[in-house]
Amino acid sequence: MADLVTNDPQIAAIIENETTRQEQGLNLIASENTVSRSVLAAQGSVLTNKYAEGYPARRYYGGCDFVDQAEDLAIARAKKLFHAPYANVQAHSGSQANMAVYFALLNPGDRILAMGLSHGGHLTHGAAASFSGRLFEFAHYGLTPDTEVIDMDQVADLAKSFKPRLIVAGASAYSRIIDFQAFAEIAASVHALFMVDMAHIAGLVAGGVHPTPVGYADVITSTTHKTLRGPRGGLILGSEDLAVKINAQIFPGIQGGPLMHVIAAKAVAFNEAMQPDFARYQQQVVANASVLADALMSRGYKLVSNGTDNHMVLMDLTDKPLTGKEAETRLGRAGITVNKNTVPNEKKGPFVTSGIRIGVPLITSRGMKPDAVQQIARLICDVLDDVAAVDRVASQVKDLCRQYPLYPGEVR
């Protein structure tokens, strides 16, 4: 940082302020985490200098011997981690991984069946504002009205009537186990391809606390951050017979040169995810989320599906005098970062919403366990119950965060 402070003090100050925000606040964004020092080191390395269009041993530039080794290692580790026969590690994001798969397997205008956005799906699962909704024809399944879990009867009925070319399982805001076998059977019954977007649960799958889609899905996409605790980026897994099509859609189809520093950081994260303490971390994530769910419900707050099986909870504020946007803002003033989120049968729209999404991966990475999670639940409810509690809670949040530094041993 010394050179940056000298040469660009404005950016240095912004980074310092963000570091302070992360250190002193409770980040409960379900799609965020904190990476290891090793991941930071790889991503901040001289590999960022290297242009490497193409794939290992088939580059359009010279001087790629060592970045080839880094990408080969990332591919081998991804395949080993998830027990998958094929991996592409070049996707810059989960959205671009999804785009590449759609383009590899489908033609514009083809039909796709996926989870609806307000029920927990992702923008790339057919939202009108996304490339997916603009280029392909989507039908959407949702949650059962009573239990608020994925309505597999609806999935089966829509598959028969809509006749999709591709069925997508996976979500951005869903707190229960996904039955990949049931989806695969429905896809096979209508001769559709089956894709799983496991961006949110990839770390849970790697840690053995969520069933794997490998062996059921034709192709699997993911991010490499979130629960996987790596750098921000994308990943595609699948069978060898799809490798040529998918690789061609990543490059030259939708991307240019890969981010070799990020790919090296992905390799580091995949190696970390194969260590025994990573499985223990994921077990703690699930345990912490369960504690959070119970504590919030004990204070009278409704959760979608009345609980969680994974790393997040979805708080439904429909019956409260707060919108999701207002809750996000109020909690933010107290140093608690969440995001507003739609709930099933949303009435207020995606920019206001009737709910908030709360995740525990990052606080678990900081070392927090059930006692701390219980305290966090109390602080959340105190703020949502009474705006006058914001200043008191903000002080308690800072006190709690001091006990669990992002990077222990660093002097600040």
Mark the binding-site residues, compressed into ranges: 117, 121-123, 240
Q: What are phi and psi of 158, to 5 degrees?
A: -65, -40
User: Annotated catalytic residue: which of 16, 23, 53, 382?
Assistant: 53
By three-state DSSP, how is residue 112 classified? strand
Calculate the dihedral angle through the C-alpha atoms of 171, 212, 253, 125, rounding to the nearest 10 degrees: -20
Distance in angstroms (rounded) separating the CA atoms of residues 73 and 179 = 31
Q: Tell me the residue type at 140.
A: H
Number of residues written out for the chain? 412
User: Annotated catalytic residue: which of 77, 176, 232, 330?
Assistant: 232
User: Annotated catalytic residue: which of 124, 221, 223, 353?
Assistant: 223
The annotated binding site for (6S)-5,6,7,8-tetrahydrofolate is made up of: 117, 121-123, 240
Q: Is 212 a catalytic residue?
A: no
Q: Is 226 a catalytic residue?
A: yes
User: Annotated catalytic residue: which of 51, 111, 348, 392?
Assistant: 51
User: Annotated catalytic residue: which of 77, 165, 226, 357?
Assistant: 226
Q: Is 223 a catalytic residue?
A: yes
Q: Is 51 a catalytic residue?
A: yes
User: Annotated catalytic residue: which of 197, 218, 272, 316?
Assistant: 197
Q: Is 60 a catalytic residue?
A: no
Give the single-character DSSP code of 143: B
CA pseudo-torsion sign 383, 388, 394, 400: negative
Q: Is 197 a catalytic residue?
A: yes
C-beta separation of 360 from 312 below 8 A: yes
Distance in angstroms (rounded) separating the CA atoms of residues 180 and 406 = 35
Kindly tell me the burial class for residue 283, based on how many C-beta atoms sit within 10 Å of its own C-beta (0-12, 13-18, 19 or more): middle
- Active-site residue numbers? 51, 53, 197, 223, 226, 232
